[in-house]
Amino acid sequence: MIVLRTPDSRFEALADWPFPPHYVEITDADGTALRLHYVDEGPRDAPVVLLMHGEPSWAYLYRNIIAGLVAKGHRVVAPDLIGFGRSDKPSRREDYTYERHVAWMSDWLTALDLTGVTLFCQDWGGLIGLRLVAAFPERFAAVAVGNTGLPTGTGWTEGFKAWLDFSQNAPVLPVGGIVNMGTARDLTDSEIAAYDAPFPDETFKEGARQFPTLVPTTPEHGSVAENKAAWAVLETFDKPFVTAFSDGDAVTRGGEAIFKARIPGAAGQPHVILTGGHFLQEDSPRPLSPYSTPWFTAFGPDAVRHERRRRPLTALRPGRRLPRRVG
């Protein structure tokens, strides 16, 4: 495995990003060493909140949430998946598989020996994070999910099909522009640049290109059996489980229903529909924060249900601004 590493200079002076880097070295099954980056803020003995990003973002997605959770007395940990952010990036698409991602993050979780964890996960952060919950249920105290799923080969939405087609056929993958197209508000140029920062050129984006093809949308996809086994564990998970989806995501709209129906811990929780697009962390960071803490029942959804929606959304609106190159 040939591994690329984004130069540290790409992450200097990013907008609203004061967090120092932390790293753990994990070893792939083939013996390759991979450096995995994570944010680690707050007292080390405080209750842990784990924030997991998805495609094609990185921990920067949580920049407006981290400090508020630390102020409430939490230790906040936000990793970059392998292939994203400041984490190492294998150079070939075939290096990325669903099961490898789960194994990499399992090794990271156990290396930090995180326990009593409250997980918030979105997009691929859920596809991987929920597998961690199923593999290590004793390490998790509560879970909140937004705009994600744990598919088992039963099909896809039209919104996901549009995203899959775009991701595989665009000659240049405009990462910052993709995040901007998936939000209700327009990101600033500096925010778009921060999402572009991990990818100096197209060779660094193989993980981002591969992710959409790995979603188990058909019975023939890899990881269908593994996800079904994970569901069997989640169907016994009776700790607090909250859904916090958004009202403007064509990819995952309605995806909260299966969690509320099948996971015992979801019963009686303050589930909420937030204002925003696919990247709800950009659109609703303040109301999202309470759903990232262990005390879900202390926060009712009324404060967020009635926020004014700014504009209707589609999956990826081609009229949104594309990012300017960084460097």
CA distance 37 to 209: 20
Give helix 98-112 / helix 224-234 axis angle, nearest 10°: 40
CA distance 218 to 224: 8
CB contact set of 201 (below 8 Å; sequence gap of 6+) = none
Active-site choice (88, 249, 271, 283)? 249
Active site residue 123: yes
- At 38 the three-state DSSP class reads strand
Instruction: Provide the terminal-to-terminal Cα distance of the chain, rounded to the nearest Å.
Output: 27
Contact 144, 74 (CB under 8 A): no
Q: Pairing relation of β-strands 75-79 and 33-41? A: antiparallel
Contact 234, 130 (CB under 8 A): yes
Active-site choice (123, 196, 247, 283)? 123
Active-site choice (37, 53, 74, 278)? 278
Active site residue 278: yes
Q: Which residues are catalytically annotated? A: 123, 249, 278
